[in-house]
Structure 1
Amino acid sequence: MKNPRLLAMSVGLLLAAHAAQADTGKLLLTGGVSSIGGAAGGGLTPWAVIGTNATAGEVGFSGYATRAATQDYSLNGYGVAVGLHDRVELSLARQDFDASPALALNGIAPFGVAPGQHIKMDVIGLKVKVAGDAVLDADSWMPQIAVGLEHKRTRPGSIGSVLDFLGTKTSGTDVYVSATKLLLAQSVLVNGTLRYTNANQNGLLGFGSAAPGKHSRSLQPEFSIAYLLSKNLAVGAEYRFKPNNLQALGAAAGLGAALREDDWKDIFIAWAPTKNVSVTLAYVDLGRIVPGITNNRRQTGYYLSAQVAF
């Protein structure tokens, strides 16, 4: 990802069960940090936790800025979230994706893609905790469970003609269920999320596809695991399955696997120098993103994220 700004890929950690409490009474880092869509959790996937440092009866706020870069693309993001009584989370995120390689699509058809084109996307999120508590239920097998949605609207600019050709929509809504389990004795956190979506590349390439591609939503699992090295330092990994809606359409158009979408994964390290600040650095593998214009290169690189929470 070249030429950019700040990506919505923050990797969060809830693993500080041994850490000191914040003034609000919430344990250090137990609100996570911002995921790519703005919800609290890991960098690639939301968790069941409610972001910010607010506990029951309190209202909290957080803000973040992130940047990711791979061989051919870059993504910058920023956003804010409000946590209500450790029960409800509202989030707003904006992404700016440098889609400069898409200029090569003009060689396939007269799409009119402008040089240096960026795709922008806004994400409005809602998450509600419905059962369990990651910290209070740490001595049982009961996880914290939350349901959420992310409504996304993409502004493709001159790439809009490409999305029209693909038959994709410029807005869509993902629905998900997350379960987060904190194992205090082992200093380990695990999370599983099941997402109902038809987003292409998280929505940056629209939603659904013309036939014979897949237009309807499908269930896609996402997993995270983190290990606490010290009270304010943790490492972990994430894996997010993707729907690959466009490949069949590309093949039917004689493009082979040029529109293939791969799963996402990362390995991260997160540090919280204070109860209000966290910084995350990760190695990310986003697979092939429109491999027909990037010589089938896998998009590997880094993301760096910073968050403040109160």
Structure 2
Amino acid sequence: MRHCAAMLCALLLIASNNEALAGDGKLLGTAGLIQVEGSGGGGIVPWATLAGYDTQDQVSVNAVMTQVDLDDYRLNVMGVSASFYDRIEISAAHQRFDLKQLGGDIRQNIFGVKYRLYGDAVYSRLPQVSIGLQHKRLEDGAIAELLGADSSSNGTDYYIAATKIHLGAVAGFNAVWNVTARATKANQLGLLGFGGAENNDYEVMLEASAGILLSRSVAIGAEYRQKPDNLGLGEDDWVDYFVSYIPNKHVALTLAWAELGSMAGAQDQNGLYLSINGQLW
């Protein structure tokens, strides 16, 4: 938690020294949300879009609080991010994974960087394309080590994402899609360590999102995230179905139904996803 607080202070200091702060440049809703690892995107998938509404001469600073309440577990996330001049995003997130049945928790810190390579999600003919990484550090790797993870301390994911928003494409409503390819060794986001007896090499996992903006403020959609099964515990792919309310550029509320399948041997882990995103500047 203190790592995120330190990052927030640094981002606020950077923002306070910039005259041009985000707010007016991009269309409402086109910045997306902040996902469970702290990167700009959907709920469980990082997108090519950056976390804020900044244009090429602006800076934005954002914060997120998310909870995913499952049958046997609960994931709490606090994060901060900043995007600079519609080109680069940095982020930090703290995850606490509560073991509701067994007691105790697993904590992880994630530090991310994303760089926009090409395009604009709305205005360019081809999709916006970005590359990024998420470096993950477990605070206590005892459970990961017990389950046979090759690394119970840290690991890094690398991804490339493409995002496109089509104005008026579906019965006059705006539509958005995203496809992400992630190279990863992470078990359950890294909460159960990295690599394992079944596989210890990077694998490329597919992630995707699709949604429709029913109005300027309401979006609905679904996401899919493929997962590796390095520990041989039957780690399932993730799916969620979401509705987001974005009344203005300062706040966004998202409610989703998450189907996360088997987690550490516990089957059919389904539950509610609730996230509050705020643009500070």
Normalising by the smaller structure, the TM-score range is: 0.7 to 0.9
Q: Are the aligned partners of 1:225 and 1:236 in contact in 2 as well (CA < 8 Å)? A: yes
Structure 1 residue aligned with 2:140? 156
Give, in whole Å, the separation in 2 of the partners of 1:161 and 1:35.
Answer: 27
Give the TM-score normalised by structure 1.
0.79
Aligned length: 255
Partner of 1:279: 253
CA distance in 1 between counterparts of 2:193 and 2:69 reads 21
In structure 1, C-alpha distance between the alignment counterparts of 2:59 and 2:264, rounded to whole Å: 42
Alpha carbons 2:142, 2:152 under 8 Å: kept: no
User: C-alpha separation between the residues in 1 aligned to 2:249 and 2:68?
Assistant: 25
1:88-127 → structure 2 map (5 Å cutoff): 88-101=88-101, 103=102, 116-127=103-114
Quick check: 1:230 aligned with 2:215? Answer: yes
Give distance in 1, aligned partners of 2:40 and 2:145: 34
- Please give the secondary structure, in 1, of the residue aligned with 2:168: coil
Pick the aligned partner of 2:163 from 148, 169, 180. Answer: 180
Native 8 Å contact 2:256 2:274 kept in 1: yes
Q: Contact 2:145/2:151 (CA < 8 Å) preserved in 1? A: no
Q: Is the 8 Å Cα contact of residues 26 and 53 (structure 1) preserved in structure 2? A: yes
Q: Which string of whole-angstrom CA distances, capped at 9 and with x for unpartnered residues, describes residues 224-248 of structure 1?
A: 000011111010000000111111x
Corresponding position of 1:245: 230
Larger CA Rg, structure 1 vs 2:
1
In the alignment, which residue of structure 1 is the partner of 2:18? none
Residues in 2 aligned to 1:200 and 1:121: alpha-carbon distance in whole angstroms? 12
TM-score normalised by length of structure 2: 0.87
Query: Alpha-carbon deviations, 1:56-80, whole Å to 9, x = none?
Result: 1111100010111111100101110
- Give 5+ residue unaligned stretches, structure 2: 1-21
1:221 and 2:191 correspond: no
1:5 equivalent in structure 2: none
Contact 1:117 1:157 in 2 (8 A): no
Q: String of CA shifts for 1:158-205, please: whole Å, max 9, x gaps.
A: 525515x44333200000000001111211101000000010001000
- Which aligned pairs between 1:9-20 and structure 2 lie closer than 5 A? none
- In the alignment, is the contact (CA less than 8 A) between 2:158 and 2:182 conserved in 1? yes
Q: CA RMSD in A?
A: 1.4
The one-letter code of the counterpart of 2:248 is T
SS of the equivalent of 2:109 reads strand
Aligned-partner residue type, residue 56 of structure 2: A
What pairs with 1:1-310 in structure 2 (closer than 5 Å)? 23-101=23-101, 103=102, 116-137=103-124, 140=125, 142-156=126-140, 158-159=142-143, 161-163=145-147, 165-186=148-169, 187-210=174-197, 213-247=198-232, 259-291=233-265, 294=266, 297-309=267-279, 310=281
User: How many angstroms apart in 1 are the aligned matches of 2:165 and 2:120?
Assistant: 9
| Residues 57 and 214 of structure 1: CA distance in aligned 2, closer, same or farther (over 3 Å) | same
Q: Percent identity?
A: 42
Q: CA deviation at 1:87?
A: 0.5
1:118·1:156 contact (CA, 8 Å) conserved in 2?
Answer: no
Higher fraction of strand:
2
Q: Give the equivalent residue in structure 2 for 1:108.
A: none
Q: Is the 8 A contact 2:144 2:193 kept in 1?
A: no
